[in-house]
């Protein structure tokens, strides 16, 4: 079997992620950095970014977008607040399982714990089993751990089948997500300026002057040079109601003349610009 290409780091390198062991983010960590890293579970996205900023870990992995739920806006905001750089991206197929204590059956389940996004991705399952009440929890794998530790009767969790193995729990049903086209895009992050991997994808953030045609003008720098945009996302600017920061992903490498020129052109007229990274897909 050919080994999958990963970001080259020494064995035992610490990589932070949000969630508990068995979380989809852990799968993303291994897809990005390989199997020989030490993963560092963190309780929140804030604490993941803090761990990188305070150099507690050299790298972190966060989800940025899900193909069904859309962008993880909190992480866009955190990328803007912290001096981080994007090193790489990867895509994880999200397959949700219903997981409970070893003695449980589908009929015994009354409450189903999981992360709000995971709950929202299994609406058809909840319509089929109206007796089951969804309960919001901070993490998918964390809800498996919670049910195991508290021996919670009548409860189940929605999480990866891997997390059932980790906590010695039973998979009551696999693949309960509404849509099989359920993928999450994760980014590998490092403190800004530490390393500079390059690749076919470039992420930027910029603000616009509050004037007619400003976004059109900004997109023209790419369109005129045939640099393709794969994603654009707007986020409010705090303290400036109804003004926005724009996050854009380009299918281009900053080393290419077209991309480099486009970014220089954009910087000529936007009031704020930042390069988040130029990287490849792992």
Residues 177-196 that bind a copy of itself (CB under 8 A): 179, 181, 183
Whether 13 is catalytic is no
Does 68 bind a copy of itself (CB under 8 A)? Our answer is yes
**Whole-number Cα distances in Å, 125 to 28, 46, 179:** 26, 31, 11
Give the torsion sign (CA, 117, 118, 121, 123): negative
Does 274 bind a copy of itself (CB under 8 A)? Our answer is no
Measured from the CB atom, the residue of 170 and 231 that comes closer to a copy of itself is: 231
Q: To the nearest whole angstrom, how small is the minimum distance from the Cβ of residue 253 to a copy of itself?
A: 15
Comparing CA positions, the residue from 31, 8, 28 lying closest to residue 19 is 28
Q: To the nearest whole angstrom, how small is the minimum distance from the Cβ of residue 2 to a copy of itself?
A: 25
Longest distance between any two alpha carbons in the chain, whole Å: 65
Q: To the nearest whole angstrom, how small is the minimum distance from the Cβ of residue 99 to a copy of itself?
A: 22
- Written as six digits, the tokens of 101 are 């204590």
CA distance 49 to 82: 7
Measured from the CB atom, the residue of 15 and 79 that comes closer to a copy of itself is: 79
CA distance 260 to 39: 35
Please pick, among 137, 186, 206, 246, the residue that the annotation labels catalytic.
Answer: 186
- Written as six digits, the tokens of 115 are 């992360």
Residues 247-281 as b/e (b if ≥16 CB within 10 A, e otherwise) read bbbbebbbebeebbebbebbeeebeebebbbbbbe
Whether 184 is catalytic is yes
Q: To the nearest whole angstrom, how small is the minimum distance from the Cβ of residue 223 to a copy of itself?
A: 4
Q: To the nearest whole angstrom, how small is the minimum distance from the Cβ of residue 65 to a copy of itself?
A: 8
| 209 φ, ψ (degrees, to nearest 5) | -65, 145
Does 258 bind a copy of itself (CB under 8 A)? Our answer is no
Site for a copy of itself (CB under 8 A): which residue of 219, 253, 269, 280?
A: 219
Site for a copy of itself (CB under 8 A): which residue of 36, 43, 83, 136?
A: 136
Does 127 bind a copy of itself (CB under 8 A)? Our answer is no
Burial of residue 204 (CB within 10 Å: 0-12, 13-18, 19+) is: buried
Does 220 bind a copy of itself (CB under 8 A)? Our answer is yes
Q: Tell me, by CB under 8 A, how many residues bind a copy of itself.
A: 37
Residue 70 in 3-state DSSP?
A: strand
Residues 28-67 that bind a copy of itself (CB under 8 A): 65-67
Does 240 bind a copy of itself (CB under 8 A)? Our answer is yes
| 25 φ, ψ (degrees, to nearest 5) | -65, -30
Interface ranges with a copy of itself (CB under 8 A): 65-70, 73, 136, 179, 181, 183, 212-213, 215-217, 219-220, 222-223, 226-236, 238-242, 244
**Residues carrying an active site annotation:** 184, 186
């Amino acid at each position: 079997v050919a080994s999958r290409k990963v970001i080259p780091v020494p064995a035992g390198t610490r990589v932070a992620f949000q969630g508990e062991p068995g979380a989809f983010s852990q799968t993303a960590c291994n897809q990005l950095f390989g199997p020989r890293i030490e993963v560092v579970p963190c309780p929140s996205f804030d604490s993941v970014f803090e761990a990188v900023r305070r150099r507690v870990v050299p790298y972190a992995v966060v989800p940025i977008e899900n193909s069904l739920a859309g962008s993880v806006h909190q992480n866009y905001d955190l990328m803007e607040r912290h001096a981080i750089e994007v090193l790489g991206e990867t895509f994880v197929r999200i397959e949700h399982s219903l997981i409970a204590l070893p003695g449980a059956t589908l009929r015994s389940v009354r409450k189903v714990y999981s992360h709000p996004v995971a709950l929202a991705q299994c609406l058809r399952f909840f319509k089929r089993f109206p007796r089951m009440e969804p309960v919001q929890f901070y993490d998918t794998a964390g809800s498996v751990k919670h049910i195991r530790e508290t021996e919670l009767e009548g409860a189940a969790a929605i999480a990866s089948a891997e997390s059932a193995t980790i906590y010695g729990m039973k998979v009551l049903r696999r693949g309960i997500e509404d849509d099989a086209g359920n993928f999450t895009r994760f980014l590998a992050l490092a403190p800004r300026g530490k390393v500079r991997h390059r690749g076919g994808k470039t992420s930027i953030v910029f603000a616009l002057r509050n004037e007619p045609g400003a976004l059109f003008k900004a997109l023209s720098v790419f369109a005129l040079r045939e640099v393709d945009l794969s994603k654009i996302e707007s986020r409010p600017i705090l303290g400036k109601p109804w003004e926005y920061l724009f996050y854009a992903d380009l299918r281009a490498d900053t080393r290419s003349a077209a991309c480099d020129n486009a970014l220089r052109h954009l910087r000529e007229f936007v009031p704020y610009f930042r390069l988040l990274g130029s990287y490849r897909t792992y």
